[in-house]
Amino acid sequence: MSNASKKIDFFDNVQLLTERFLTFRARKRQAKKEKRKAKNAILDWLDAFIWAACMVLLANQYLVQAYRIPSGSMIDSLNIGDHVFVNKLVYGPELLPGFVKMSSVYKPQRNDIIIFESPAYISRGTVFDVAQRIIYMLTLSLVDIDRDERGEQRVHFLIKRAVGQSQDWFVMKDGDMQIRFAGEDRWIDENEYNKSRQWKHNVTRLMPRDQYPILRAIGKADGWMDNGLNISQDLVNQTSNVGDLRFFDRFAYEEARLETIRKTTPEDKRYSVLLAKNRLGWYIPEGRIFPMGDNRDSSNDGRNFGTVNSSKVLGKGLIIFWPMWRIGGMK
């Protein structure tokens, strides 16, 4: 082989090796690029998720928040399982979940549907409360980790109607509410007042009004038995096979029971005081509101735990967004 041919073969081999090296390097770079691209996609997804989560948290904390209705205390306005949005900006949002509520020029008005923390709620600690509320907000009220030992949801927040404002006075008569407004000397029936204002919500009653004589008879019979006395046959006949009406209107029942005990033990002034308190009703002090459920015979509300400071009200009911057939504004 001539020297010229050897030189050509040498350069061909060099070219071949160079091409193979460049191809190998290009493939390696491409593999790194693809790996980096895949990694960036995951980071991009995480970044987008974190960004979206932050936006949801900010919107829930300061603008609107989703809640699920856990009980039937607001039927027919709100049903069990309804998912609602609450306007948190109107009364001033909390700076952080459970901390430092910001002030607002707007205060809860009569007939507003409001949300507030249950006075009976027992916190499990700041860390748990913040985590629970963040998860609740991120899932738009679908996931609530605040459960009791039986796995049932603990009631942290209540949604009721603001029926009373500062200096109002309320009494219950056969389950119907009578109102005496500040500066007035007459009582007005709640249904009459609502009709005059053209408010569309219904006040739901579970116990028929014609059952009140039986309910009072049950209270009277229990009063006799509480004092260790035998009840008359007439009371036995009135209260047998009628079911337990005590839980429909505890206040009318308690009034009948206390009246009986007071009459049988007039020397014990405690029952006179309790009876007077039951009959006087509820007065709303300055700066507070009186919340009640529209379902008057099945509602844990201000009649049980008293008035609520207006500054503790977290939001105003806005719309029902789920289920689909219930979508609409709250009235």
Which of 11, 39, 60 is at the close of a domain?
60
Average pLDDT, the chain: 84
Kindly state whether residues 77 and 196 are assigned to the same domain. yes
Q: Give me the residues paired with residue 66 across strands.
A: 85
The number of distinct structural domains making up the chain is 3
Q: Based on the fold, state whether residues 141 and 290 are members of the same structural domain.
A: yes
Q: SS3 letters for 140-171?
A: CCCCCCCECCCCCECCCEEEEEEEECCCCEEE
265 and 158 in a common domain: no
- Tokens 């193979």, located at residue: 20
Residue where a domain terminates, one of 247, 276, 305: 276
On whether both 98 and 154 belong to a single domain, the answer is yes
Q: Considering only CA atoms, which of 145, 142, 172 is closest in space to residue 156?
A: 145
Residue 11 has pLDDT above 60, yes or no: no
- Given a cut of 90, whether residue 235 has pLDDT beyond it is no
User: Predicted confidence band at 36 (pLDDT cuts at 50, 70, 90)?
Assistant: low
Domain boundaries, position 249? 209-276
Q: Is the pLDDT of residue 27 over 80?
A: no
Q: What is the pLDDT of residue 144?
A: 86
pLDDT given for residue 311 in this prediction: 87
Read off φ and ψ for residue 111, nearest 5 degrees. Answer: 85, -5
Name beta bridge partners: 283: 169
In whole angstroms, what is the distance from residue 160 CA to residue 302 CA? 9
pLDDT, residue 286, reads 93
Which CATH number goes with the domain that contains 181?
A: 2.10.109.10
What percentage of the chain carries pLDDT values higher than 90? 33
- Quick one: 181 and 292 in the same domain? yes
Q: Are residues 244 and 190 in the same domain?
A: no
- The predicted structure's pLDDT at residue 109: 92
What lies within 8 Å, CB to CB, of 132 at 6+ separation is 144, 145, 146, 156
State the pLDDT at residue 185. Answer: 86
What value does the mean pLDDT take over residues 273-280? Answer: 86
User: What's the distance, Cα to Cα, between the start and end of the chain in Å?
Assistant: 103
Q: Mean per-residue pLDDT for 5-24?
A: 59
What is the predicted pLDDT for the residue at 293?
Answer: 95
> In this predicted structure, what is the pLDDT of residue 15?
60
Predicted pLDDT of residue 228: 84
